[in-house]
Amino acid sequence: MTFTITLSCSGDGDPTEPGESRFPAKDLSYSLHIQPIFSQNCSFAPCHDSGTRAGGLDLQSEPLNFLSNSGLVVLPFSRTQSLLYELLFQSTQNISRMPPSSARLADDEIEAIGQWIDEGALP
């Protein structure tokens, strides 16, 4: 008698259920929640790593100052006035939507970044 066991794994990091989030509703931590998003999607060559600093923005090094060639890109407590957040949805100020590849961040990642900004964008 032969038994077959099939294991599956979702390697894309997206929640398994629609609307499910991998992030807490409040008190987001930069190091635990936000930095991993940047590390996976933004802070590598030739993008926003400490060596390349595309657009003058380094999302790899700490402490973060959120300055770029366009000025301050994160306005603590206001996702709607933060260029970094706006660029997750659309191109603006002659800057392409981020990340520039065809793959957009997952909805819960975008919401986590927005919530973190609204909570003060603490390090």
Predicted confidence (pLDDT) per residue in 86-102, tens digit: 999 888 878 888 988 76
Q: What pLDDT is stored for residue 13 in this prediction?
A: 45
Predicted confidence (pLDDT) per residue in 14-65, tens digit: 444 556 789 999 999 999 999 999 999 988 878 888 888 888 988 887 767 7
For residue 113, is pLDDT > 90?
Answer: yes
The DSSP string of the chain is ----------TT---SSTT--SS-SS---IIIIIHHHHHHHTSSTTSSSTTT-GGG--SSSSS---EETTEE---TT-GGG-HHHHTTT--BTTB--SS-SSPPPPHHHHHHHHHHHHTT---
Instruction: Delimit the domains of the chain by residue range.
Output: 30-118
Sign of the CA dihedral with 19 first, then 10, 38, and 63 last = positive
Q: What pLDDT is stored for residue 19 in this prediction?
A: 64
